[in-house]
């Protein structure tokens, strides 16, 4: 059964995304289908794993699968394994109920991308779906079994990155902790994933947690899970990410943002390989390799006592420092080609052929945002189907760009003989000024939204809303 919808209302969705819902309860299928259609998704539904697999094999090509764990006949775990045999890339989110924590751990180890505990709220569902889609596990519109064009294949071209690859190969059969450092956007996650894929744990889960993305209390529950009643709203048991990463690799991104209290708890886990869920007494033993990443100077933080010295030395068994893109310029042409093809597929546009002028501009630009900035520039090139806005940015800088937009507004007022109302002029200028101010704050804090909110003296929620409204979320790390 297929349910069609209108254009997506979410600003982060470049096109309509397709969700395959597999659940034996008709009421749940209908509820989820109606909800997701309203949120701008296209939806297919199936009442069991066999029909879900048939839909997957028929060419429906979902961007993400919602798969219930407990179903009669072929249950969710069996369906997950069969779907993974057919398509190793499509993101699959498991739907669980209270009391199925061990089953969810099995599902994550079998290749599930994420999970949701029933009941869940609408926003939690949407954010989970968009998160797993955004991980890049599937390039939208790609034909089945066709490998994605990944930047990871081109990031190792320079001599500096070849040396890093050599270190990764050396530690592949060990379980030593690794600290990956470098500026924002240099490719720390790619290095972390390569460490995992080169290790003896490569067939086990790779679980990522961004320590800067969640407040302290939410980060603690995400890492270690919780028991019913641990806090308001904790209606059921939820396994933590450490449980889900058992036998695999835990990637703690932006470890420098972790609070001192959580640093102490993490140190205990690293030393003893055990922990307790929030609100629980039972000790849970895990076997997890930890890889951490940060753009912050941890040694300086140790000196000013904002980062624990004992934890630093526990994490810093092997240190990998990734050089910025401006010191790896020989990678830029290959990365350009990679991003051009990937973005053309994602946005269903023709693959542009960069001009000599654009290639020269890229060759001389310092890329303060590193690989991430290069990718965002290529996205703009593909979507706008024009090099001029990018060349303007590279050759005159962002500050002059904002001035150029103001000049363009004045020209519009002049050309229309004053038909643009004064209120509209003020609104557009204020909106642009606000966008530039937020962008500066995000750059200054390396896209740490909590710090940017404090800098701008607004609430965290208000800042997130304004980031979405201004379109800056498309430039997010």
Q: What is the pLDDT of residues 290-343, one digit of tens each?
A: 999 999 889 999 998 999 999 999 999 999 999 999 888 888 988 898 888 888
Instruction: Tell me if 221 sits within 8 A of 238, measured CB to CB.
Output: yes
Please say if the pLDDT value at position 168 is more than 90: yes
Write down the pTM of the prediction: 0.58
Instruction: Tell me if 43 sits within 8 A of 81, measured CB to CB.
Output: no
Looking at residue 102, its pLDDT comes to: 66
Indicate the pLDDT class of residue 154, thresholds 50, 70 and 90.
Answer: low
- Residue with the two structure tokens 């199925």: 100
The number of angstroms, rounded, from the C-alpha of 19 to the middle of its chain's C-alpha atoms is: 18
Q: Residue 178 and residue 189: Cα distance in Å, rounded?
A: 12
Indicate the pLDDT class of residue 426, thresholds 50, 70 and 90.
Answer: low
Tokens coding 378: 């290529």
The number of angstroms, rounded, from the C-alpha of 31 to the middle of its chain's C-alpha atoms is: 27
Span 419-433, average pLDDT? 66
Looking at residue 149, its pLDDT comes to: 36
- 3-class DSSP state of 22: strand
Looking at residue 476, its pLDDT comes to: 61
Q: Which of 41-55, 128-142, 163-177, 368-382 has the lowest mean pLDDT?
A: 128-142
Looking at residue 12, its pLDDT comes to: 35
Q: Residue 261 and residue 307: Cα distance in Å, rounded?
A: 10
Looking at residue 314, its pLDDT comes to: 94
Q: Return the number of other C-beta atoms located less than 10 Å from residue 221's C-beta.
A: 19
Q: Report pLDDT digits (tens) over 115-128.
A: 887 777 777 788 78
Span 79-88, average pLDDT? 85
Looking at residue 334, its pLDDT comes to: 86
Indicate the average pLDDT of the chain: 80
Q: Return the number of other C-beta atoms located less than 10 Å from residue 215's C-beta.
A: 10
Instruction: Tell me if 83 sits within 8 A of 65, measured CB to CB.
Output: yes
Q: Which of 150-154, 387-391, 438-442 has the lowest mean pLDDT?
A: 150-154
Q: Residue 157 and residue 412: Cα distance in Å, rounded?
A: 47
DSSP, res 110: T
Please say if the pLDDT value at position 409 is more than 70: no
Indicate the pLDDT class of residue 432, thresholds 50, 70 and 90.
Answer: confident
Please say if the pLDDT value at position 19 is more than 80: yes
Indicate the pLDDT class of residue 287, thresholds 50, 70 and 90.
Answer: very high
Q: Residue 179 and residue 455: Cα distance in Å, rounded?
A: 28
> Which carries the bigger pLDDT value, residue 14 or residue 135?
135
> Which carries the bigger pLDDT value, residue 444 or residue 452?
452
Where b means 16+ CB within 10 Å and e means fewer, 265-274 reads bbbebeeeee
Which helix (H) or strand (E) is 251 found in, with range?
Answer: strand 249-253
Indicate the pLDDT class of residue 112, thresholds 50, 70 and 90.
Answer: confident
Q: Residue 87 and residue 94: Cα distance in Å, rounded?
A: 16
> Which carries the bigger pLDDT value, residue 20 or residue 466?
20
Span 19-38, average pLDDT? 85
Q: Residue 57 and residue 54: Cα distance in Å, rounded?
A: 5
Span 189-213, average pLDDT? 88
- 454: Cβ contacts below 8 Å, ≥ 6 apart: none
Looking at residue 53, its pLDDT comes to: 85
Q: Residue 239 and residue 247: Cα distance in Å, rounded?
A: 15
Span 264-285, average pLDDT? 91
Q: Report pLDDT digits (tens) over 290-303.
A: 999 999 889 999 99
The closest alpha carbon to 464, from 20, 12, 22, belongs to 12
Span 93-118, average pLDDT? 75
Please say if the pLDDT value at position 143 is more than 50: no
Tokens coding 279: 């609100």
Span 172-182, average pLDDT? 92
- Residue with the two structure tokens 């290790």: 199
Q: Residue 94 and residue 72: Cα distance in Å, rounded?
A: 16
The number of angstroms, rounded, from the C-alpha of 378 to the middle of its chain's C-alpha atoms is: 18
Instruction: Tell me if 255 sits within 8 A of 188, measured CB to CB.
Output: no
Q: Residue 291's beta-bridge partner residues?
A: 178, 251
Looking at residue 135, its pLDDT comes to: 67
Instruction: Tell me if 279 sits within 8 A of 227, measured CB to CB.
Output: yes
Concatenating the DSSP letter of every residue in 371-419 gives HHHHHHHHHHHHHHT-SHHHHHHHHHHHHHHHHHHHHHHHHHHHHTTT-
- 3-class DSSP state of 274: strand
Looking at residue 420, its pLDDT comes to: 56
How far CA 74 is from CA of 52, 53, 322, in Å, comes to 11, 11, 46
Indicate the pLDDT class of residue 184, thresholds 50, 70 and 90.
Answer: confident
Q: Report pLDDT digits (tens) over 344-397.
A: 877 778 889 999 889 888 888 888 889 888 988 998 898 888 888 888 877 665
Q: Residue 139 and residue 151: Cα distance in Å, rounded?
A: 13
Instruction: Give me the half-sphere count of Cα atoms (radius 13 Å) on the Cβ side of residue 337.
Output: 7
How far CA 468 is from CA of 11, 202, 213, 353, in Å, comes to 7, 36, 15, 31
The closest alpha carbon to 164, from 200, 185, 188, 184, belongs to 188
Tokens coding 238: 């939820």
Looking at residue 204, its pLDDT comes to: 85
Looking at residue 179, its pLDDT comes to: 97
Please say if the pLDDT value at position 475 is more than 70: no
Indicate the pLDDT class of residue 101, thresholds 50, 70 and 90.
Answer: low
Q: CA torsion 63→66→67→72, rounded to 10°?
A: -120
DSSP, res 60: -
| Helices vs. strands in the chain: H and E counts, helices first | 19, 15
């Amino acid at each position: 059964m297929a349910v069609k919808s209108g254009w997506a209302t979410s600003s982060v969705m470049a096109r309509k995304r397709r969700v395959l819902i597999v659940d034996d309860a008709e009421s749940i299928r209908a509820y989820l289908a109606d909800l997701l259609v309203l949120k701008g998704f296209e939806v297919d539904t199936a009442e069991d794993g066999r029909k879900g697999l048939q839909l997957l094999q028929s060419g429906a090509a979902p961007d993400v699968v919602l798969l219930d764990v407990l179903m009669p006949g072929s249950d969710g775990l069996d369906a997950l394994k069969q779907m993974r045999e057919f398509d190793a890339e499509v993101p699959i989110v498991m739907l669980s109920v209270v009391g199925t924590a061990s089953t969810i751990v099995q599902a994550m180890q079998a290749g599930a991308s994420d999970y949701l505990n029933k009941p869940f709220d609408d926003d939690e569902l949407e954010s989970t779906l968009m998160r797993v889609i955004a991980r890049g596990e599937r390039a939208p519109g790609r034909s089945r079994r066709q490998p994605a064009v990944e930047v990871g294949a081109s990031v190792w071209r320079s001599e500096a990155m070849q040396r890093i690859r050599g270190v990764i190969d050396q530690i592949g059969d060990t379980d030593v902790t690794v600290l990956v450092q470098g500026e924002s956007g240099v490719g720390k996650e790619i290095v972390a994933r390569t460490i995992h894929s080169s290790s003896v744990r490569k067939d086990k889960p790779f679980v990522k947690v961004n320590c800067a993305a969640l407040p302290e209390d939410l980060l603690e529950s995400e890492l270690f899970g919780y028991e019913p009643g641990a806090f308001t709203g904790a209606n059921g048991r939820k396994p933590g990410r450490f449980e889900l990463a058992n036998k695999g690799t835990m990637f703690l991104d932006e470890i420098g943002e972790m609070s001192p209290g959580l640093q102490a708890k993490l140190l205990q886990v690293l030393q003893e390989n055990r922990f307790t869920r929030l609100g629980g007494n039972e000790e849970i033993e895990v076997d997890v390799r930890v890889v951490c990443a940060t753009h912050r100077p941890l040694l300086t933080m140790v000196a000013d006592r904002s980062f624990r010295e004992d934890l630093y030395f526990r994490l810093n068994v092997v240190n990998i420092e990734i050089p910025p893109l401006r010191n790896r310029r020989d990678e830029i042409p290959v990365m350009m080609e990679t991003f051009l093809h990937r973005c053309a597929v994602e946005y269903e546009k023709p693959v542009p052929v960069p001009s000599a002028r654009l290639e020269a501009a890229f060759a001389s630009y310092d890329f303060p945002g590193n690989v991430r900035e290069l990718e965002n520039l290529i996205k703009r090139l593909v979507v706008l189907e024009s090099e001029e806005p990018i060349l303007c940015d590279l050759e005159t800088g962002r500050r002059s760009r904002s001035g150029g937009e103001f000049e363009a507004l004045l020209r519009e007022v002049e050309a229309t003989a004053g038909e643009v109302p004064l209120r509209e002029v003020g609104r557009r200028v204020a909106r642009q000024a606000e966008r530039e101010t937020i962008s500066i704050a995000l750059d200054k804090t390396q896209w740490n939204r909590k710090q940017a909110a404090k800098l701008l003296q607004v609430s965290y929620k208000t800042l997130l809303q304004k980031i979405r409204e201004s379109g800056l979320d498309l430039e997010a790390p």
